[in-house]
Amino acid sequence: MSQLDVRPCRGCNWCAKHGQCIQRDDMDSLYPRLAASDGLVVAAPVFFYGLPAQLKAVIDRAQMFWNRKYRLRLPVRQPPRARGRGVLLSVGATTGRQLFTGTVLTVKYFFDALDVDYGGDLLLRGIDARGEVKEDSQAMEQAAGLGKNLVAGFSGAGRENKVEMENE
Ligand SMILES: Cc1cc2nc3c(=O)[nH]c(=O)nc-3n(C[C@H](O)[C@H](O)[C@H](O)COP(=O)(O)O)c2cc1C
């Protein structure tokens, strides 16, 4: 993700009229992959109580999907699946109660724009050094379980994790 050239959303609202983004960059190849993905894994550390800018740029550019879905009433996904399923993995250095609040909300709304069900998350506090999480065998098992659960959801089971969205 961080190697991709994805520029920030300009808020120009072109997509609200045309159902496509006016900017030409690496989102050109990401848009169809997001629309066709059965399973989506978002993995990112907490940066200032939110998502790193590179990933946030991708999510903001998903405003194209939001406009297709809610303004233009156009499909956002490629057949055959009507809905995808996604999970979130995140780490942060500190231990505050609200550490993942912003990240989780943003990812839930990102998934909603893509017709992707939120299939759970693994949110780990107190992880600062690169690779440190690999030493936590319980966390690694939980991550593997999340992955298995994600795949199990494709057989039709596991839809029980569908979450209620916050009111605007
Ligand atoms: C720009 C920046 C902002 C950060 N903001 C927070 C923060 O708000 N809260 C926190 O607990 N950790 C914060 N961190 C620490 C990272 O979440 C932590 O180091 C994480 O383990 C990095 O994961 P990585 O090695 O996969 O990049 C920040 C780190 C950076 C570089």
Instruction: Using most ligand atoms within 8 A of CB, pick from 1, 2, 46 the residue to mutate for ligand 1.
Output: 46
Q: Is any atom of ligand 1 closer than 6 Å to the C-beta of 92?
A: yes
Cα 32 to averaged position of ligand 1 atoms, centre (Å): 30
* Total-model pTM: 0.91
Cα 132 to averaged position of ligand 1 atoms, centre (Å): 13
Question: Which class for 90: exposed (0-12), middle (13-18), buried (19 or more C-beta within 10 A)?
Answer: buried
Q: Is any atom of ligand 1 closer than 6 Å to the C-beta of 100?
A: no
Residue-wise pLDDT tens digits, 53-94: 999 999 999 999 999 999 999 999 988 888 999 999 999 999
Percent residues over pLDDT 90 in the chain:
85
pLDDT of residue 157: 45
Q: What is the mean pLDDT of the chain?
A: 92
Residue-wise pLDDT tens digits, 132-146: 999 999 999 999 999
The residues with which 91 forms a beta bridge, in sequence order, are 45, 124
Residue 162 confidence (pLDDT) above 70: no
Q: Is any atom of ligand 1 closer than 6 Å to the C-beta of 49?
A: yes
Asked if CATH classification 3.40.50.720 holds for the domain at 14-157, the reply, yes or no, is no
Degrees, nearest 5: CA angle 44-46-50: 105
Handedness of CA 23, 54, 82, 109 (dihedral sign): negative
Sheet holding 39-45, edge to edge: 39-45, 84-91, 116-124
Show Cβ contacts of residue 143 under 8 Å, excluding neighbours closer than 6 positions. 89, 122
